[in-house]
Every structure is written in C-alpha cells, then in structure tokens.
Amino acid sequence: MCSVARPMLDLDSNPALRHLFHLARLRVSLGFVVAVVAFWFAAPTWMSLTLGGVLAGAGEAIRVWAAGHLRKSQEVTTSGPYRLTRHPLYVGSFMLGLGFVVAAAHPMVALVVLGYLAVMLWAAIRLEEATLREAFGSTYDRYAGGTLHVTTRRFSFAQVVKNGEHHALLGLVAALGVLAMKVLYLRLG
C-alpha cells in the first residue's frame, strides 16, 4: 500500500471526503497542541517510562519495518507488514501513542492522546483508502479483499530514510527524553 498525493481525489464530488481532508490538514497543528497538553499533565515514573518506552519502541519498530517496504505513489505494496495488515504505519502510530500514554501515566494524557489518535487515524485511513482506490482501482480492491498476489521484497534502510521515518524515530527519542527529565524534576521537586 502507498500514499498518493491527495489532490488526486475529487473532493468536490464527495463532501464527506472533503471534510476528512480538511480535518487531516489540521493533524500537525492539533498534534502540537495535544503534545503540549500531554507533556504538561504527564506524571511519569521510571516504571511507567520503561513500560511505555518498550510499547512505543515496538510501535516505532513496526513503522520502520513498514517504511522499509513502502514505495509511496508507485504501487500497492504487499511485502513486509503490508502482507499482514493494510495499515501497518497506523498500527505502529497507535502503539507509539499508547506507549506515550503509558509512559506519561496520567488520565488526562490518556484522554487527550487516545482521543486525538482515534479521530486522526480514522480520518487518515479513510482518506488513504479513497486515494489508493482512485489511484490503483481494482488492484487496491483486490489487495483490500485479500486476493492480490503478495510480493516478496527485502527490507531497505534506504527506503526507511526516503520515507522520512527517521524523523519519527528522533521524535520518539526526544519525547522519551522530555518525560525522563520530568521524572527527574518530579523526584527533585
């Protein structure tokens, strides 16, 4: 599976997709607001940080695995984790978010982060499926129906970098670092 430039969709003919597109455009801005709220309320401990870090790390590992197979805008990718699920990047993103919730150890963080993920991942999946269906037609339909031939392709670190996944990895390290500093602050304060 792959992402294709959003303008391929005829948003004027489908108001629901147009609304999802506008919601998806807010993803980054809203993500920063969610992050500020989450870091503010976070009350991590070394145990919550360890458990959450392991879960988030597993989510990032899934994202790296997917990014190492994904050929955006070129094909319906069926190798690697795409042979198991249509949305491994989103599975990994959910696990990352869940790991952050566990690491932050505060109910407000859980509410805000899980609410954000539920809305944004749902919108992203709907838009991506519509985009892929528009770009690849029956090939995507066969993939979604489980009848498209699965390809075997080796994992590529170069493809991970090309897909920009190293940025998500750096973001994970930074987030865990900020939470570790908050653990130290809470212990000293």
Residue 68 CA to residue 158 CA, distance in Å, equals 7
* The pLDDT of residue 3 is above 60: no
Q: How many CB atoms lie within 10 A of CB 171?
A: 13
Mention every residue, 6+ apart, whose C-beta is less than 8 A from residue 100. Answer: 38, 52, 56, 109, 113, 175
Confidence category of residue 10, pLDDT binned at 50, 70, 90: low
> pLDDT band for position 189 (50/70/90)?
low
pLDDT digits (tens, 9 = 90+) for 18-69: 777 778 788 888 999 999 999 999 999 999 999 999 999 999 999 999 999 9
DSSP result, 105-144? T-HHHHHHHHHHHHHHHHHHHHHHHHHHHHHHTHHHHHHH
Which class for 57: exposed (0-12), middle (13-18), buried (19 or more C-beta within 10 A)?
A: middle
> With contact defined as beta carbons under 8 Å apart, do 179 and 49 qualify?
yes
Per-residue pLDDT, 5: 41
User: SS3 of 26, please?
Assistant: coil
User: What's the length of the chain?
Assistant: 189
> Among residues 37, 50, 41, 43, which one has the least CA distance to residue 187?
43
